[in-house]
Copies of this chain bind each other. A is one copy, B any other.
Amino acid sequence: MTPVVAVIAAGAMGSAVGRRLVENGVTVLTSLAGRSAATEQRARAAGMTPVADEALAAADILLSILPPAEAEGLAERLSALFATAPAKPLFVDCNAICPDTVLRIGAVVAASGTPFLDAGIIGPPPTAGGKGPSFYVSGPDAARLLSLAPFGLEIRPMDGPLGAASALKMSYAGITKGLTALAAAMMLAATRAGAADALRQELAASQPQLLAWFTRQLPSMYPKAYRWVAEMEEIAAFVGADPAARTMFEGAAALYERLAEDFRAEQRETGALSGFLGQ
């Protein structure tokens, strides 16, 4: 039986996930309420079906895939609608948020009588012919999301409680996006100090794998930096019991905030980073 799936929103990840499901015969609903023209275009290009928010209740499964700062607002808005709906979808929060935020969202969703699961997406958006990211899932009956596995998504139920999937996502993103922040900070510092060429040459000689990783990861960071600000703040909250780590991620959030602003405006620092990497 092919489920009806709602994917909100049709951002870079959401639209690619939507397209993958559509290609596998799934009807994919989405909401365009409050979204940009670019999002609407991505949704239509992916074959997703825009509907009024009220109609989302008719989906079997709803995947919330948003910039992390918007996750809680969407859950509150839809829960208010679903509370009086005759049928309710399985609400799966797939956002890069810390377990405490997941539990808060889960409580709001559950209060409307809507079943809730926590998911963490690891890996880049699905591409044509490519494998696509892993959806780690946690919570009571996490295996329910395996119903999407036949439709082109990699679903990995976890044993842990609600929040375990987000804990994994936070830990993983803390390493990868934290490293991207560190590398950007030090390339910029080296450039300011006139040591950029020497640093690139020394990395090429003694850390070629790291330099190759930076060369792949940094250029794709610039347009995503604005989303990563809230993600770094969620990771800072996730490591809250460790004040030293929290400070590191508060710094990373501030760095991405500046780089996002730079990318939007004059592109001086992102230009310097591209220059460092010869791109």
Q: Which residues of A contact B (CB under 8 A)?
A: 99, 122-123, 134, 136, 158, 160, 163-164, 167-168, 170-172, 174-176, 178-179, 181-183, 185-190, 192-195, 198-199, 202-203, 206-207, 209-210, 213, 238-239, 241-255, 257-258
- With contacts A179-B179, A195-B164 taken as known, whether A244 is within 8 angstroms of B185 at the C-beta atoms is yes
State A253–B188 Cα separation when bound (angstroms). Answer: 20
Q: How far is the CA of A2 from the CA of B234 in the complex (A)?
A: 59
Given A174-B189, A185-B174, A195-B164, A244 and B239 contact (CB-CB distance below 8 Å): no
Name the B residues within 8 Å of A206 (CB-CB).
122-123
Q: Which residues of B contact A210 (CB under 8 A)?
A: 175-176, 179, 213
Q: Which residues of B contact A176 (CB under 8 A)?
A: 207, 210
Interface centre among A174, A189, A239 (most CB of B within 10 A): A189
Q: How far is the CB of A54 from chain B (nearest CB, A)?
A: 37
The residue that A164 contacts in the complex, of B193, B202, B249, with Cβ under 8 A, is: B193
How distant is the Cα of A190 from the Cα of B238 in the complex, in angstroms? 10
**Interface residues of chain A: helix, strand, loop or mixed (majority):** helix
Identical chains bound together, number: 2
One of B182, B193, B239, B254 near A99 (C-beta < 8 A): B193
Q: Could you say which of A99, A175, A183 has the most chain B C-beta atoms within 10 Å of its C-beta?
A: A175
In the complex, residue of chain B having the shortest beta-carbon distance to the beta carbon of A258: B244
Given A160-B194, A248-B182, A252-B248: A202 and B168 interface contact (C-beta under 8 Å): yes
A132 to chain B, nearest CB (A): 12
The 5 A-B pairs at the shortest CB distance, nearest first, are namely A247-B251, A248-B251, A244-B254, A167-B193, A185-B245
Residues of B near A181 (CB, < 8 A) are 248
Which of chain B's residues have a CB closer than 8 A to the CB of A239? Answer: 185-186, 189
